[in-house]
Structure 1
Amino acid sequence: MHAPRTRVQRRPVHGVLLLDKPLGFSSNQALQKAKWLLRAEKAGHTGTLDPLATGVLPLCFGAATKFSQLHLDADKTYVATARLGVKTATGDAEGDVIAERPVNVTPEDLARVQAQFTGPIRQTPPMHSALKKDGKALYEYAREGIEVARAARDVVIHSLKVSLMDTPSDIRLTARVSKGTYIRTLGEDIGEALGCGAHLTSLRRTATGDFYESQCITLEALEAMSEEERLAQLLPAEALVAGHSRVTLGTEDAARFLSGLRRRGQWADASEVAVFGCEPRAFLGTAHITANELIPGRLLNPIEIQQILLNATSCETTP
């Protein structure tokens, strides 16, 4: 007989975990594992990485989930390797080989495509993606052998470096890109521009917004920690709004702001504002300022703020 499974007792956990997603895990599998290790009640991620990709995956817990969209929209940096001369059905090493061509690439060719694919470009999303058509993911159509028409989208390749690796059929791509950019598609398009086709053999995300791989922790390391050590890995929710302008409100204004009321003050117009209370110091949420009015956006609720402050106090008193 199997022993009964122990039910995990969930608890309110608030903050951001910078995870180094392992190879072979979907983003949701990695999220659920971290959520289980932290015993968190509520969690979400800030944009998916393919199972064959590794690297920076910010995970949001509790109140931080309210601001996860900000990093869905953030620029991202990737390092990828691509095999020239071989095209696959999926654009990566998982797919069946559908075409092979000879490779004859010079450094001048690489410089040409590097310039060609830097800046604003148009990309057609791949069939093997999570984009939806009539409520169904494109990859589901692809598995059924159905090709769906996709409109090309405008994306921006802010920087791109293309270099030869140890073998003449392998290249490395280092790219900082806007949201919505598919690196698999970029690799395929570069392969076509070189006249030989290509598919990705590895992909690693090294940065998303202001978060970098050097700040990340692996699931293996997280699992080896005590509960207190795991909680200590969390960044506060305001880490997601580090680039916003800051406004600090007094106790009375903070309470009214949290109830959704606009506040007036001598503030310059700003589209992205992080709002704090001063006593006690607490992150309240986001806002924008128009004509000296602080207009609430996404807000924490008083219970979330109390839980965050209580946890911070308990951490300070732990020997």
Structure 2
Amino acid sequence: MGRARKGRDVSGWLVVDKPAGLSSTAVVNKVRWALSAKKAGHAGTLDPEATGVLAVALGEATKTVPYITDALKAYRFTIRLGQATNTDDAEGEVIATSEQRPSDAEIKEALQGFVGEIMQVPPQYSAVKIDGERAYKRARDGETMEIAARPLWVEELVMTEREDADHVTLEMVCGKGGYVRAIARDLGAALGCHAHVRELRRLWSGPFDVEDAITLDEIDRLAKDPALDDRLLPVAAGLADLPELRCGAGEANRIRNGNPGAVAVSGLEYGAECWASCDGEPVAVGRYRAGEFHPDRVFVAAS
């Protein structure tokens, strides 16, 4: 019999402005400790040196993590031209250099090739699994791996600033699974000058914006204080991109028991993914079929 998890049954989202120098897992552990929460996870890893939005799900909100992971995300990042590193960021060793520096016009033209559906090879130092082992672990042992390219949707990629000949700041909106470091690496290759990421910040992730985020200093200050609970967003915040269907209390009970339930709906296509609510609280995520909601994943009713 498994050991019961200690902590409170607290549910919701805490949007954290992650500082540089910490892993995403370390931030989640800090949040779990500060809220004395039983269960927590995050929706989309940030590299240790990256900053910005890290959406931490607690309790029942962890059931909505896939919908944030799959959502569009926005990044601002500065690349260093003229140098390639083995990690594709400033933490790595320089492995190639170039004196060539492209013009602003050349950079803007090259960026067009990275918009839309592109194929991207993840960095050698990444969490991609190769024969069951993380690529970064094998890279640390000096191994160079053949990593398969994978599709990535890039909604937008624009140059916002040219600090000097060596540095360019870009902003990108992309889908699930994108590596900003790979964008910098491949852009440098396309421009014939090499490049790596110097700074990276996630501006928003799905419905969560860095302007609404809490810092780790604030979390430390409010740890174990009910005031920190007030910073939580509701579980339903993770479902913002799905249609909401409302139902009554009786139907909510049926749905929570895994049965289809009647819902109020207008104009939704048969089989569409959606979520059911009762009195503003999420009941389940599922599919709409001919006037009924069919649950796939149910939420425990708030006590």
Compute the TM-score of the two structures, normalised by the length of structure 2: 0.93
Aligned equivalents of 2:161, 2:123: Cα separation in 1? 25
Aligned equivalents of 2:209, 2:53: Cα separation in 1? 7
Q: Look up the SS of the partner of 2:164 in the other structure.
A: coil
1:157 maps to 2:191 = no
Q: Look up the SS of the partner of 2:41 in the other structure.
A: strand
* AA of the residue aligned to 2:149: A
* AA of the residue aligned to 2:180: I
Q: Look up the SS of the partner of 1:68 in the other structure.
A: helix
Among residues 131, 134, 149, which one is paired with 2:131 in the alignment?
134
Q: Deviations over 1:233-253 (max 9, x none)?
A: 100100001222222211211
Aligned counterpart, 1:19: 16
Aligned equivalents of 1:158, 1:16: Cα separation in 2? 26
1:294 maps to 2:296 = no
Residue pairs, 1:64-213, within 5 angstroms: 64-213=61-210
1:275 maps to 2:276 = yes
1:285 maps to 2:299 = no
Query: CA 1:20 to 1:105, structure 2 compared with 1: closer, same or farther past 3 Å?
Result: same
* AA of the residue aligned to 2:298: L
Query: How far is the alpha carbon of 1:9 from its aligned partner?
Result: 6.5
8 Å contact 1:191–1:197 — kept in the other structure?
yes
Give the stretch that moved more between structures: 58-67 or 9-18. Answer: 9-18
Q: Look up the SS of the partner of 1:151 in the other structure.
A: coil
8 Å contact 1:19–1:218 — kept in the other structure?
yes
Q: Percent identity?
A: 35
Residue pairs, 1:45-56, within 5 angstroms: 45-56=42-53
Aligned equivalents of 2:162, 2:231: Cα separation in 1? 36
8 Å contact 1:110–1:163 — kept in the other structure?
no
Among residues 225, 238, 241, which one is paired with 1:240 in the alignment?
238
Among residues 251, 265, 282, which one is paired with 2:249 in the alignment?
251
Query: How far is the alpha carbon of 1:29 from its aligned partner?
Result: 0.3
8 Å contact 2:252–2:261 — kept in the other structure?
no
Structure ID, larger Rg? 1
8 Å contact 1:103–1:169 — kept in the other structure?
no
Q: Deviations over 1:149-201 (max 9, x none)?
A: 21111111111112552220101111001111110000111111111100111
Query: How far is the alpha carbon of 1:120 from its aligned partner?
Result: 1.5
Aligned equivalents of 1:169, 1:155: Cα separation in 2? 27
Aligned equivalents of 2:34, 2:15: Cα separation in 1? 14
Q: Deviations over 1:67-93 (max 9, x none)?
A: 111111111110000110011000001
Aligned equivalents of 2:272, 2:108: Cα separation in 1? 39
Aligned equivalents of 1:266, 1:129: Cα separation in 2? 45
Query: How far is the alpha carbon of 1:266 from its aligned partner?
Result: 6.4
* AA of the residue aligned to 1:255: N
Q: Which runs of 4+ in 1 moved over 4 A?
A: none
Q: Look up the SS of the partner of 2:138 in the other structure.
A: helix
Query: How far is the alpha carbon of 1:282 from its aligned partner?
Result: 2.6
Q: Deviations over 1:211-262 (max 9, x none)?
A: 1110101010121126111100100100001222222211211111110001
Give the stretch that moved more between structures: 164-173 or 231-240. Answer: 164-173
What RMSD over aligned residues (CA atoms) do the two structures have, in Å? 1.6
* AA of the residue aligned to 1:233: R
Paired residue total: 295
* AA of the residue aligned to 1:12: D
Aligned equivalents of 1:273, 1:166: Cα separation in 2? 45
Query: How far is the alpha carbon of 1:301 from its aligned partner?
Result: 2.4
Aligned equivalents of 1:88, 1:26: Cα separation in 2? 20
Give the stretch that moved more between structures: 59-68 or 256-265. Answer: 256-265
Aligned equivalents of 1:263, 1:163: Cα separation in 2? 50
8 Å contact 1:23–1:53 — kept in the other structure?
yes
Residue pairs, 1:36-51, within 5 angstroms: 36-51=33-48
8 Å contact 2:236–2:281 — kept in the other structure?
no
Aligned counterpart, 1:223: 220
Compute the TM-score of the two structures, normalised by the length of structure 1: 0.89
Q: Look up the SS of the partner of 2:274 in the other structure.
A: strand
